[in-house]
Amino acid sequence: MKKRKTIAGISRSAVWIMLLMISAASGQYELSWYTIDGGGGQSSGGAYTLTGTIGQADAAWSSSGSYELLGGFWPGGPICIVDFESYARFAELWRDSGFDIAADLDGSELVDFGDLKKFADLWLHCCPAGWPLK
């Protein structure tokens, strides 16, 4: 009988110790976000070269398809925003038809509402690679 009480007491103590450990470990956690902006130098592969500078800020725009990557403070860079200037070029070609029209964004050989929808989706974003309305 005494053996059973000892096992029950040890089991009870083990449960209390585990509960104490769990409650002590469940404090506040902090997950901080830091970046080290920079690096300097060049990386290349095939026909592509990527150049970085120390102190270059985290910046927007990546692409896929025809590849485009912008970021940081390169002076005179190819930054292009789809804005009123692009819209003026688009409006000049509204309802034109034919092959290879700059405002034909959907490839239908007609500048119509399909192209306007594509244009509106890009409004105030960086121009995608190969943007014809620069």
Within 13 Å, how many C-alpha atoms sit on residue 34's CB side? Answer: 4
Query: Which domains, ranges and CATH numbers included, belong to the chain?
Result: 1-59 (no CATH), 80-134 (1.10.1330)
The tokens of 69 are what? 């990557």
Helix/strand number for the chain, H first, E second? 3, 2
Q: What percent of the chain has pLDDT over 70?
A: 55
Q: Kindly report, residue by residue over 83-103, the tens digit of the pLDDT.
A: 999 999 999 999 888 888 889
| End-to-end Cα distance, the chain | 91
Express each pLDDT in 41-72 by its tens digit.
777 788 777 776 665 555 556 667 766 666 65
The pLDDT of residue 87? 93
Q: What span, in angstroms and rounded, lies between the C-alpha atoms of 58 and 21?
A: 41
pTM of the entire predicted model: 0.45
